[in-house]
Amino acid sequence: MDELSLNTPIEYLNGLGTEKAKLIKSHLNIYTCEDFLNYFPFRYIDKSKIYLVSQINNSSTIEIQLKGRIIDIKEKVLKKRKTLSAIFEDSSGKIELVWFKYTNWFMDSIPLNVEVLIFGKINKFNGLLTMAHPEVEKFSEVNFKNVALDPVYSNSLKIQKRGINQRFIKKIIKEILDKLKSKIFENFSEPIIKNFRLISRVEAYQEIHFPTNYINLQKAEYRIKFEEIFFFQLGLSLQKLYRKSTIPGTPFPKVGNYFNNFYTNHLPFPLTSAQKKVIKEIRNDLKKNVQMNRLLQGDVGSGKTIVALLCMLLAMDNNFQACMLAPTEILITQHYNSIVSLLKDFDITIELLTGSTTSAKRKQIFNDLESGKLNILLGTHAILEDKVKFKKLSLAIVDEQHRFGVEQRSKLWKKNTIPPHILVMTATPIPRTLAMSYYSDLDVSIIDELPQGRKPIKTFYKMDSDRLAVFGFVKEQIKIGRQVYFVYPLIEESEVLNYKDLMDGYESITRSFPMPEYQVSIVHGKMNKIDRDFEMNRFLNGETQIMVATTVIEVGVNVPNATVMVIESAEKFGLSQLHQLRGRVGRGFDQSYCILMIKSELSPEAQKRILTMCETNDGFKIAEADLEIRGPGNILGTQQSGNIEFKKINLLQDKDIVSLSKSCIDHLLLEDPKLQLIKNEPIKNFFIKNYKNKFQWSIIS
């Protein structure tokens, strides 16, 4: 056979014919020698201890190792099925070994009456100790230097039956490692290896597959994790550098009359210092010749909308158009109403575009957008349609960006020849580790302060049996002039069920809160816009005291007089959704409450969510808990996490490595933004070969 390389397809490996190669490709997704090296064990078995049969504890479920002899072997027929059965004996006793699946070849290969090591899980079967499908090795052939930690690879039974078992995989990987050692090149620079105390790449591969001891295994894992997150973050950081150095932006040189007049005479309240700080950061971006791509994070109620408005005024001062997107019609309509009222003394034209905009109105909006007569457009996804063309759009704001994907953001880029500045706002905080990995191509501003006088929302959980008391509490709150939400979950599988749940709830609430003393609004996704607006407005104006709704009111809705949020079947909601819903109250000066109605039996995960909600109001803590419960993939959605899967690093458990690597990259790119220094050549070469096509841009060539 010719010399192997990392790219050699696996069918050229010794002992791997086309048939086995095909199975491995389709089941394990391994195509080349390199893929095999990157097929890391998912656990290791400690074979350093040898047990005696007499020491076996009946309830033991771990895999153990025994040393002795197989003294008898025969086929048995059990319920018409053949099984292979053997007797194993050591100095202290006997157990039975059983194989339910085997070949003649396998049967003949079992060593009889010689010293062997067997390894597997013990079961008790008809009062007899048995071990099913044990691994059997002749004692004389065991290489004790290497057995301390035995790798276990994930594998499917289907291919195991065809001979691709653990032993086979280990053999192949060992062969590849032996032959390709010299081709596993270092991909870090000397200083990085030294500063971060990394073992060499070859060593890491050797130890991750065949660890000589725990300490070396840990070093190998550290190195491989570091490398994995490093190159991913490097891609994002280079992308950001590329954007800043290559993609032009429209500078807003002027802070003019619109901004200044509003700031001095029309602000409805003094800004918090956190709001001032982020406005400064944004203004700084907008002065430059570079497109802004900024993420504005601020917990629910921190006051992001006014920041967005001030930014749009900066666009007006410089004679440009601006637009703002929100995920739901209710939310954007509310933004529209409040912005129109705040800007009523200004000669700025503002329109609203949603799915329910009439075609005559649309036509007018499209015309005015293209002629430049329209200054600010607010809307839902409808804004993203190709038909929507601006004369000179230079600022696009996306509210509640977690509801939008990267793809939608990139559609906004294309709405102007020079891409508009982009400000995405989110109340769903992104845990730091995720921000440092998946989002590191954005600049981040944080509003880390709530407007003065806000009291933390008190959160409780209650069972159905407490319902009367809950209703009593709600009545007290209404008596002192407050308003209340009752929210029902959306169950994705069945719209009919949702509707029924909601309507049943509505009926029982109107029974317990009868007219004319109480007025109840209802809002859900199936209502037409006119009815929905009508109901929303009644609640907003305080004509109704109770709002019964589905999660359509989840994001953004702002009724500061509402102080109680009752969430029905709270166990069915995700954490960030619960947090968003809770954010609908506590928006004024009064003490607010969130009541989570739950069933008595909850899954451990649901329990964790409910308890987290009761424990903290802090969006960042909630985001961390959410990450812990659901994992990063689920939080980001495929759109954002889909471009890379991590093999070894766990963004949750390996937070430290994530930050170390990020600071390493910041240093690296500060000194050598295009990776042109000789010492950084290994990094550059490896990145180009393995990562470049995974990212949209790159400034290195």
Binding site for Mg ion (CB under 5 A): 556
Q: Which amino acid is at 614?
A: C
Residue 10 contact partner, candidates ligand ADP, Mg ion, none, CB within 5 to 8 A by sort of partner = none
How near is the Cβ of 317 to ligand ADP at its closest, in Å?
22
- Of 30, 29, 11, nearest in space to 19 by CA: 11
Position closest to Mg ion via CB? 556
Site string for ligand ADP, 411-450 (x = CB under 6 A): ----------------x-----------------------
- Check residue 451 for interaction with ligand ADP (CB under 6 A): yes
How near is the Cβ of 560 to ligand ADP at its closest, in Å?
5
Distance CA 558, CA 574 (A): 21
The count of other CB atoms within 10 Å of the CB of residue 444 is 15
> Dihedral of CA 137/141/146/147: which sign?
positive
How many positions of this chain bind ligand ADP (CB under 6 A)?
18
Footprint on residues 585-624 left by ligand ADP (CB under 6 A): 587
Residue 97 contact partner, candidates ligand ADP, Mg ion, none, CB within 5 to 8 A by sort of partner = none
How near is the Cβ of 256 to ligand ADP at its closest, in Å?
23
216 versus 302: smaller Cβ distance to ligand ADP: 302
302 versus 477: smaller Cβ distance to ligand ADP: 302
How near is the Cβ of 274 to ligand ADP at its closest, in Å?
9
- Check residue 401 for interaction with ligand ADP (CB under 6 A): no
- Of 56, 236, 59, nearest in space to 694 by CA: 236
In 154-274, the DSSP E strands lie at none
Distance CA 24, CA 22 (A): 5
HSE-up (13 A, CA, CB side) for residue 567:
31
332 versus 675: smaller Cβ distance to ligand ADP: 332
306 versus 596: smaller Cβ distance to Mg ion: 306
Footprint on residues 249-308 left by ligand ADP (CB under 6 A): 269, 271-272, 275, 298, 300-306
HSE-up (13 A, CA, CB side) for residue 539:
27
How near is the Cβ of 478 to ligand ADP at its closest, in Å?
21
How near is the Cβ of 388 to Mg ion at its closest, in Å?
23
Phi and psi at residue 648, to the nearest 5°? -120, -40
User: CA angle, corner 687, sides to 682 and 691, nearest 5?
Assistant: 160
How near is the Cβ of 402 to ligand ADP at its closest, in Å?
13
Footprint on residues 298-357 left by ligand ADP (CB under 6 A): 298, 300-306
Q: What's the count of helices (H) and strands (E) in the chain, helices before strands?
A: 24, 21
How near is the Cβ of 577 to Mg ion at its closest, in Å?
15
159 versus 397: smaller Cβ distance to ligand ADP: 397
Footprint on residues 529-558 left by ligand ADP (CB under 6 A): 556, 558
Site string for ligand ADP, 162-181 (x = CB under 6 A): --------------------
In 288-382, where does DSSP find H-type helix? 304-317, 329-342, 359-371
SS3 per residue for 531-599: HHHHHHHHHHCCCCCEEEECHHHCCCCCCCCEEEEEECCHHHCCHHHHHHHHCCCCCCCCCCEEEEEEC
63-78 and 483-487 strand pairing: unpaired
Directed axis angle between helix 619-630 and helix 575-582, to 10°?
160
Return residues touching ligand ADP (CB under 6 A): 269, 271-272, 275, 298, 300-306, 427, 451, 556, 558, 560, 587
